[in-house]
Structure 1
Amino acid sequence: MNASSTLRKRSLSVRTRSNGAASAVEGRTADDDAESLGEPVSPSARLVEEYFIVVVIGLGAPINQSSGRAGIGATIACYPRFHSIQATDKDGTLRWVRTTVDLDYHIIFPMLDTAAVLVNPDQAVEDYVASLSTKPMDHSRPMWEFHILDFPTSEATATAVIRVHHSLSDGTSLLMLLLSSTRSAADPSKPPALPPLPARTGAIYVRPRPPMSAGSLAFALWLWSFVLLAWHTMWDAAIFISTILFRKDTQTLFSCTDHGNRRPNRIVHRSLSLDDVKFVKDAMNCTVNDVLVGCTDAALSRYYYRKSGDNKTGKEIRLRSVLVVNLRATTALHAKNTVDRKKSSLEVAFTHVAAEVVHKIFGRKAGAYIVDRMFSNTTTLLSNMIGPVEQVEFCGHPVVFIAPSQYGLPQAINVNFNSYVNTVRVVLAVDETQFPDCHELLDDFVESLRIIKDAAEKHGSHDMKA
């Protein structure tokens, strides 16, 4: 890397927010700059104060400082939330306030131990990303950072680590913003090709009415679908409320053991074959997401029984995951069995509205309490995001892999999947104190997919003989 004086190198020393930083921009209060006041900060953006999205991107070429800086400035930094901070107006309303973006602050070239990088560059990157989870962000600046690690690892020539506060963007929005900043590697004049959108484009409660010629049975089934929707929604809402109040998951080695302190979160990842996942999907007549949920269940089970020595297979263990579902119409998340039923439920909309209503009526602390209890009383978070189906370039740099994750939730383990070209990247964010052997858990994901694929092959062979 040719690091010129334009982008200053510095160690990761991040200034924390002072008492007046929330209502001041470079010494000016929000009232002094009324023209820059934007819309109020949404309740959902205020509910999780220390929740950060982290995306690790492997690059296939050394960092080109000029093109990288220009690309980030022309795309990411121009996005409204990425040149705004939160400030309180004269009425006490927290609003987005536009401010100037200093790219020298947001693009960081950290100084790492040269010897450690030479001995094990993969470990150096992993350790650095883990260190970010213990560092706060300066609330007097837009809360996003690009950390550039310009040395080769086993998978990439260089690594970019994007850290963004959740109030600026959720995981799906951030990934779509990053993808909108990429170009097709085959033809840089074109945006990358993405998989086709799901068949469902409207709200879940929109059920097309069958034509009169379809008969009375079709009409009855149409009405019955609304009955199921109402029943599933009421049942799921009751489960959600009980989870907030008292219903906890079984205490296992996956449970968070330290809710009060911020311990380092280690983010590790491994690639799985998308072709293998699709083979299982076709053999079992399900979806890609169904396969990934099954793979997660199998991997966690393998790890649990190996580490705990618990061979009581009949023992009931409640281990639930918070499934991240995008409420926008552009993407969807599907799963099998339990999640199939969730498709016929308005639980997602209910939980979102409930949190915001409580926030508006009882204040931010009450809304944050609901979110904290939801995550504290469940075991993990599971998400799956769709990436490009072709090789892409980011600011002129070929992208080798994309590994999105997060930290800041009161959970000891989170599981994220992201597809890119012909691979699926499984990304784990774990409490490194509880999971010092997290790479073994990645091995369990690889082995679980292999076992599932073998079973699918046998299932297919059996069907052909039958």
Structure 2
Amino acid sequence: MATRIVRSVAQQAARRAARGAVKQATRAVRGALGLAGERMSKVDTAWLRMDSERNLMMIIGVWTLRPRIDYEALCRRVEERLLKYPRFRQHVVEDATGASWVDTPGLDVRQLVVREKLPRGRAGGEQAALQARVGQLAMQPLDRQLPLWRFHLVEDFDGGSALAVRIHHCIADGIALISVVLSLVDGGAPPPQRRARGPAPDGGHWIAESLLKPFTDLSVKAFDAAGAGAARSLHLLDDPRAGLEGSLELARLAYQVAGDSAALLLMPDDSKTLLKGQPEGRKRVAWCAPLPLDEIKAVGKALNCSINDVLLSCVSGAIGEYLRGQGDDPAGKEIRAMVPVNLRPMEQAWKLGNRFGMVPLVLPIGIENPIERIYEVRRRMEALKGSTQPLLAFAVLTVAGLLVKPAQDLLLGLFSDKTTAVITNVPGPREKLRFLGATLEQCMFWVPQSGNIGLGVSILSYGGNVQFGVIADAALCPQPQKIIDAFAPEFAKLSWLTLMLPWGDG
């Protein structure tokens, strides 16, 4: 018995020594080849490799500003503020085992901040011309020899300027980029000084760290106390010595994880609609005038629903109305949307990277009655509270980053093949911001879609309003503006019906 124990310990020690030797040798080879740099996390590597001919993994944003801003002033602000973040002055070098962030020698900010000229006389005016250009930029790959972002300035747009932004998703998620935006605006500050980091932690470490952190406000609104309980319980998986007192909670959580895993793997196919199919790789984007946030809050309060319930009900109604207009009756149909859920404290957003999971939400696009539809959305959102699916999705992305690209595509295809849209809801600043002396009037962004997903819907609260944006593959949705144009009427119907309900006793 003692001999077997000694032999086992010796074997384990030998394996650890071998792994250490391999890591040292790999670092030495990479250093000799000039590839020294910070290793990219497994999750960020998965996003890097998700680029395809049909979908590029870029977050696209547009600012409209009044009065106009100057190109040289923009270059100076980017150099003073944005380049303080290491990620924005580094390019990516891939190798057989992953990728690294490497400082870009001789970087000139004017390589990354470019001037744009919109064609004149286009039908629909300047906004249509800007939307068309943003659609082109959404499928224009970023040069891998430079940092994976670009600013495109239209100096003269609608009495001011427009700034289009492209940032690869491997740099950061939407919540982290809000922190970047706040550092760029007037009165903003550069990121906190950070100590030098060692090699990027492996996926298991990041999963454990994410589970140890309490959900941020955005996550709590979606998953409430059960989600936080799940985070505390999963810590036991990382530290079995935490004690037997957590065994019952761990058993409950294990049961829940098994159920949530099965739900993810066994998701039924979406209803067949014009929005589901094979993308062709041409993008169209659209946005509308924002809706007042106070009115949305008032409707939600009157119906005992959350703001998210109201917004997602309007999204469902707008998509259903669009399909009716295209001769595709949505009655009895529903589509699945992947909704990102933040997994990190907001105070750590400046560290960038991707720290979010995904939860599948089935939208009842076939319910035409706005009141019936919002209560169905609320019921489905309630059913997701306490789900561990965001954590499982994060784990899947981590595993995907360990695989070669064909295997990664196959794994992630399990999600994209059963999904019609990606919907992101990001809380922005409550007051309008100023940038280089100009007022940031409108702020829009569009999320990337992976695999065969052809529709992205973005919801951003900013300056007391809520802004909707849609990006779509031209083969599946050639006129996304028609979806956008249905948002305001859908909210108006919900608002009128709310006012008509018998609230009093008499």
The normalised TM-score by structure 2 is: 0.71
Query: Residue 415 of structure 1 corresponds to which residue in structure 2?
Result: 457
Letter in 1 for 2:410: Y
Letter in 2 for 1:204: G
- Secondary structure at 2:142 match in 1: coil
Distance 1:407 1:351, change over 3 A: closer
Is 396-405 or 37-46 further displaced after alignment?
37-46
Is 334-343 or 139-148 further displaced after alignment?
334-343
Distance of 1:263 and 1:279 partners within structure 2: 39
Distance 1:235 1:274, change over 3 A: same
Query: Residue 243 of structure 2 corresponds to which residue in structure 1?
Result: none
- Secondary structure at 2:485 match in 1: helix
Q: Is 2:154 the counterpart of 1:149? A: yes
Do 2:431 and 2:462's aligned partners in 1 also have CA atoms closer than 8 Å? Answer: yes
Do 2:274 and 2:477's aligned partners in 1 also have CA atoms closer than 8 Å? Answer: no
1:54 deviation in Å? 0.3
Query: Residue 482 of structure 2 corresponds to which residue in structure 1?
Result: 440
1:353 deviation in Å? 0.7
Do 1:68 and 1:396's aligned partners in 2 also have CA atoms closer than 8 Å? Answer: no
Distance of 2:228 and 2:423 partners within structure 1: 24
Q: Select 1:99's aligned residue among 100, 104, 109.
A: 104
1:207 deviation in Å? 8.0
Q: Is 2:281 the counterpart of 1:262? A: yes
Query: Residue 80 of structure 1 corresponds to which residue in structure 2?
Result: 86
| Uncovered stretches (5+) of structure 1, i.e. residues with no partner | 1-28, 210-222
Query: Residue 284 of structure 1 corresponds to which residue in structure 2?
Result: 303
1:228 deviation in Å? 7.6
Give the fraction of aligned pairs with identical amino acids, expressed as a percent.
Answer: 21
Distance 1:224 1:428, change over 3 A: farther
Distance of 2:88 and 2:172 partners within structure 1: 9
Tell me how large the CA RMSD over aligned residues is.
3.3
Distance of 1:453 and 1:278 partners within structure 2: 11
Do 2:155 and 2:162's aligned partners in 1 also have CA atoms closer than 8 Å? Answer: yes
| Uncovered stretches (5+) of structure 2, i.e. residues with no partner | 1-29, 191-215, 233-246, 350-355, 362-376
- Secondary structure at 2:494 match in 1: helix
Q: Deviations over 1:126-146 (max 9, x none)?
A: 111111123111111101000
Q: Is 2:176 the counterpart of 1:160? A: no
Q: Is 2:346 the counterpart of 1:327? A: no
Q: Is 2:323 the counterpart of 1:304? A: yes
1:198 deviation in Å? 5.9
Letter in 1 for 2:154: L
Distance 1:45 1:92, change over 3 A: closer
Is 108-117 or 382-391 further displaced after alignment?
108-117
Distance of 1:41 and 1:208 partners within structure 2: 21
Query: Residue 115 of structure 2 corresponds to which residue in structure 1?
Result: 109
Distance of 1:170 and 1:279 partners within structure 2: 30
1:99 deviation in Å? 1.5
Query: Residue 456 of structure 1 corresponds to which residue in structure 2?
Result: 498
Q: Deviations over 1:376-423 (max 9, x none)?
A: 321111110111111211233310011011345322221110011121
The normalised TM-score by structure 1 is: 0.77
Distance of 2:248 and 2:300 partners within structure 1: 29
- Secondary structure at 2:156 match in 1: coil
Q: Deviations over 1:268-298 (max 9, x none)?
A: 3441121221111211222211211111112
1:199 deviation in Å? 9.6
Q: Deviations over 1:22-56 (max 9, x none)?
A: xxxxxxx863546x511334334334233110011
Do 1:321 and 1:379's aligned partners in 2 also have CA atoms closer than 8 Å? Answer: yes
- Secondary structure at 1:206 match in 2: helix
Query: Residue 253 of structure 1 corresponds to which residue in structure 2?
Result: 274
Do 1:59 and 1:158's aligned partners in 2 also have CA atoms closer than 8 Å? Answer: yes
